[in-house]
Amino acid sequence: MRLKKLIKQFEFTNDLRDRITLGPNVRLSPKENRLELIDSSGYPTTADLYAKTWITNPSSVKQWLSFEADVVNPKVDNAEVTSVKYRLGDGTNQKWWNGSAWVTNTANWNTEAEIATNIATFPVTSRQLQIIINLRTTNVGYTPEVYGLKLLYSSDIEFQDDLINRSLIPMLRTKVRPIADFPVSLAASGSTINIKTTYPLETPYNIVGIDSVYNHTDDPNHQTDLYSSYNPTTGDITLTSSLAAGKVAWIRFYYEPEVAVTTSQDYSEIEKIPSIILSEIALVDATEIGQDDAVINKDTLAGTKIPSPLAGDLEITARLLTDKARDQQMLADEMKRFFADNPFIRSKGMDEDYRLWLIDEYAQLTTPSQDEIHSGRLRFRIVKALFFHKQTVDVHPVSSFKFTGDMNAVVSNQPEGD
């Protein structure tokens, strides 16, 4: 299995405040971007004050590898008077390392060294991890300061596949819900209309719900909704009142369009209509960003450096295919609504958010194809997607150095002047 090493960061900035759980007497300083105790005529010395990170859920994680905390513990007379300790959560329970195993526990805390050394055995069954942070002081004049936490993990992610196939396509299937119309001339009176066997739809829609039903004959402006319930198994739509034979029932329903990726412009299989076809996927405006990052086990001084990533926009063309002109218009309206909401896409593999940006508004071809397929197109980007392609490097940070020689030596041959 080809694995990569990646870093998950927890930062305590003000724009992430709504994702962080603050326990009693703990605050997030918007100025310093850190967690700290609340000073109310002195910092509280209560033992179990805490904050919780959000639950991260990178679906590609194979193993948690290491842990590092960016904390400051003030000293008085060269002795630390504050401490920061931790428990790990799996999305359901809090876990504590008892010296030999991770056990459910809400009474004890682990040091950073204990977490860093033993996190590799923390179960990844649920792919979820949360860090519970204990801030404590024994001196009312000082507070511990927590600026950030880092997790190193191994991942089998392939970045473009993750963004397109594992993240974008499921999002479109879940979030895009066009409405279609289905007028039915009733052959018999009743308060139930079956759209599976009695009045089957000619287009193979994947119906996910009924929006409304109108008596189009007597109510052409569609003022009175007669819809009551829908049984997706049988296809029965139940109305609030009976409709007589010969009346036209105007049924409006939501459906899930087919979403697929293709490199062919001839994609027009009728059984896949209506559909959203993603094609012409290209990485544009790519550049290396930021600096190298690392996670260091401060106890063993073993570390891993992650080289700076490539950041760029994935530009994608979406083709909308339908077998009815009205469906094309309704699907186009739904796509406009989707992008008008300024959506973000979440990389499932990394559990990171990227913005979706519409760059070319919808354009419809005015005449259908030879197969009577109506089509339109738009272009959008996944903005500043990250690609970690460089190999990681093992590092060993300097913990101390020894100076030999004359400490009073002064270099005297410096040039005069500014």
State phi, psi for 158 to the nearest 5 degrees: -115, 115
Question: What Rg, from alpha-carbon coordinates, does the chain have?
Answer: 30
Give the per-residue pLDDT at 268. Answer: 44
Tell me how far apart the alpha carbons of residues 18 and 24 are, in angstroms, rounded to a whole number: 16
Give the per-residue pLDDT at 263. Answer: 54
Give the per-residue pLDDT at 232. Answer: 95
Tell me how far apart the alpha carbons of residues 347 and 170 are, in angstroms, rounded to a whole number: 11
What single-letter amino acid sits at 273?
I
Tell me how far apart the alpha carbons of residues 85 and 73 are, in angstroms, rounded to a whole number: 11
Number of helical H runs and strand E runs in the chain:
4, 28
Which conformational region is residue 395 in: left (phi greater than 0), alpha (psi within -120 to 50 degrees), or beta? beta
- Please name the residue that has the structure tokens 């119906």: 207
Give the per-residue pLDDT at 410. Answer: 46
State phi, psi for 217 to the nearest 5 degrees: -65, -50
**Domains of the chain, start order:** 4-155 (2.60.120.260), 159-176+260-395 (3.30.2000), 179-255 (no CATH)
State phi, psi for 396 to the nearest 5 degrees: -135, 100
Tell me how far apart the alpha carbons of residues 110 and 97 are, in angstroms, rounded to a whole number: 7
Q: What stretches of 298-373 adopt beta strand conformation (E)?
A: 302-306, 310-322, 344-347, 352-364
CB 350 within 8 A of CB 58: yes
Task: Tell me what percent of the chain is helix, strand and coil, each rounded to the nearest 5.
Answer: 10, 45, 40
Give the per-residue pLDDT at 221. Answer: 97
Residue 141, Cβ neighbours under 10 Å: how many? 11
Q: Is residue 282 packed enough to be buried (19+ CB in 10 Å), middle (13-18) or exposed (0-12)?
A: exposed
What one-character-per-residue DSSP string does 188-234 give? Answer: S-EEEEETTTTS--SS---EEEEEEEEETTT-TT--S--EEEEETTT
Give the per-residue pLDDT at 54. Answer: 97
Evaluated on CA atoms 109, 38, 71, 152, the torsion sign reads positive
Q: How long is the chain?
A: 418
Give the per-residue pLDDT at 367. Answer: 66
Tell me how far apart the alpha carbons of residues 417 and 91 are, in angstroms, rounded to a whole number: 64
Reported as type and span, the H/E element at residue 382 is: strand 374-387
pLDDT per residue rounded down to tens, the chain (418 residues): 789 999 999 999 999 999 999 999 999 999 999 999 999 999 999 999 999 999 999 999 999 999 999 999 999 999 999 999 999 999 999 999 999 999 999 999 999 999 999 999 999 988 999 999 999 999 999 999 999 999 999 999 999 999 999 999 999 999 999 999 999 999 999 999 999 999 999 888 999 999 999 999 999 999 999 999 999 999 999 999 999 999 999 999 999 999 998 755 544 444 578 999 998 999 999 998 878 999 999 989 899 999 999 999 999 999 999 999 999 999 999 999 999 987 999 999 999 999 999 999 888 766 666 567 899 999 999 999 999 989 999 988 776 666 666 655 544 444 444 4
